[in-house]
Amino acid sequence: MFKVVHKDGDARLGIFETPTGRIETPSYVVVATNGYIRAIELDDIPKTQTQIVIANTYHLWRSLGDVGLNDFPGLHDFMEFGGLIMTDSGGFQVFSMGVARETGVGKVFSENPISPKDSSQVKITDSGVYFYEDGEEHYLDAEISIKIQEQLGADIIFAFDEPSSPLHDRAYTETAMKRTHAWALRSLEAKTSNQKIYGIIQGGHFRDLRKQSAEYIGSLPFDGFAIGGSFGNSFGGEKDNTLDEISWANPYLPENKPRHLLGIGRIEDIFEAIELGIDTMDCVIPTREARHGGIWSRYGRIDILKGIYQKDDSFLTENCECYICNEKGITKSALHSLFKEKKLEAGRLATIHNIYFFNDLLRQIREAIKQNRFKIFKKWYLN
Ligand SMILES: [Zn+2]
């Protein structure tokens, strides 16, 4: 399914062979939580250079229900999308509806204030997880997650896991990691389809736990691996960079299998992750920001709602070849007006541009790796 065809330092150029063609990595994975990319239409997807999307098992399970899942045509037909499709395992909701909700702290420590928000909606046991939503209880475990992911029919599915929070101490992080390891085995055993399955490495911000997790998960017959859980905590002073967790795990993973970074994707993170040998990463940044007027340009994120863009007739970013900039000729002032008038079209145009922008950055990164100038390109781009 996947091979590494070239390396520039630890940065890898890889190829996924799919039924509809080849997909080069590194590649950005666009989030399609409910089986669609929010704010855009199905026939907008080809305008964005999107090669890979990830849909959310928990949300699709809740919205389709057991009956809907039985009749589900599969995500490729549902999305009319011929690229690669991934589904996560529902593990992220164990975190987002649990400890993240309870503490107000997300997976990247430095970005979030510590402020308790609400009570947890999950109860975690060794066998599985109970979710409490809308007055109902829903139970998910490794076997159920795999069955749902088989019904959803993505190309790549994930083992069920328990991500830990940056606030968890070593003892709890180890408990969650061991549960994740047990659920990894159960996920492998439960799978009856020929879909590819990734194992997830946990271990939080503890170097020895990340190593242990990568050694164990890396020894299992998974088709690929994902690095999950929390990042960016400097407890213990072992870290130089936000994503050091990747460099703690990667040496213990098989070289010839794909590596995915779960839920991380700021521009600096993309470069750092790829430099450390990550092949794909998913994040809501391009799509979520777009819906709120956050536009990505060569000089960073701009807030298109700001008054200075009211009379700015330049394009969203220079030399952008996306459908919005290049074919429709939408300028900053035009998009500013659409957002001010609260037109639905505003979110659509911004989303198409942003996804194209991120995918095009990844295309440029692949070119740089091919030409052995990744580090030079990284330095120039970030400057
Ligand atoms: Zn554009």
* 272-306 pLDDT, tens digit each: 999 999 999 999 999 999 999 999 998 899 999 99
CA of 329 to the centre of ligand 1 (A): 9
pLDDT at 109: 65
> Mean per-residue pLDDT for 40-53?
96
- In the chain, % of residues over pLDDT 70: 95
Give 330 Cα–ligand 1 centroid separation in angstroms.
8
Residue pair 295/320 in contact by the 8 Å Cβ criterion: no
Q: How far is the CA of 320 from the centre of ligand 1 (A)?
A: 5
Between the CA of 318 and the centroid of ligand 1 the distance, in Å, is 8
Catalytic residue among 141, 155, 161, 282: 282
CA 131, CA 138: separation in Å to the nearest integer? 5
Whether residue 113 has a cis bond before it, omega within 30° of 0: no
Tell me the per-residue pLDDT of 189-204, one tens digit each, with 9 for 90 and over: 999 999 999 999 999 9
Residue 44 has pLDDT above 80, yes or no: yes
Q: Which amino acid is at 13?
A: L
In angstroms, rounded to a whole number, what is the distance separating the alpha carbons of residues 99 and 51?
32
pLDDT score of 239: 62
Domain boundaries, the chain: 2-87+142-291+352-382
* Confidence bin at 344 (pLDDT 50/70/90): very high
Mean pLDDT of 151-169: 94
pTM of the model: 0.94
H/E stretch holding 31 reads strand 27-31
Q: How many CB atoms lie within 10 A of CB 115?
A: 8
pLDDT at site 115: 64
Q: Tell me which of 44, 88, 141, 279 is the catalytic residue.
A: 88
pLDDT at 381 exceeding the cut of 80 = yes
Q: Model confidence over 221-264: pLDDT tens digits?
A: 999 999 998 886 545 445 667 788 999 999 999 999 999 999 99
Residue at token pair 């439960």: 190
Summarize pLDDT for 349-377 with one digit per residue, the tens. Answer: 999 999 999 999 999 999 999 999 999 99
282 is catalytic: yes
pLDDT at 189: 98
- Does domain 2-87+142-291+352-382 fall into CATH 1.10.8.50? no
Ligand 1: centre distance to CA 40 (Å)? 15
C-alpha 82 to ligand 1 mean position (Å): 23
pLDDT on residue 238:
59
What does the pLDDT average to over 297-318?
94
Residue 80 Cα to ligand 1 midpoint, Å, equals 23
Q: What per-residue confidence (pLDDT) applies to 114? A: 56
Comparing CA positions, the residue from 313, 317, 310 lying closest to residue 337 is: 310
What is the distance between the alpha carbons of residues 222 and 237, in angstroms, rounded to a whole number? 32
Answer whether residue 216 shows pLDDT above 60: yes
Q: What spacing in Å lies between the alpha carbon of 335 and ligand 1's midpoint? A: 11
Give 76-130 pLDDT, tens digit per residue. Answer: 999 999 999 999 999 989 988 988 888 888 877 655 555 667 788 999 999 999 9
Q: How far is the CA of 315 from the centre of ligand 1 (A)?
A: 8
Question: In the annotation, is 88 catalytic?
Answer: yes
Q: Is-contact 41 47, C-beta < 8 A?
A: no
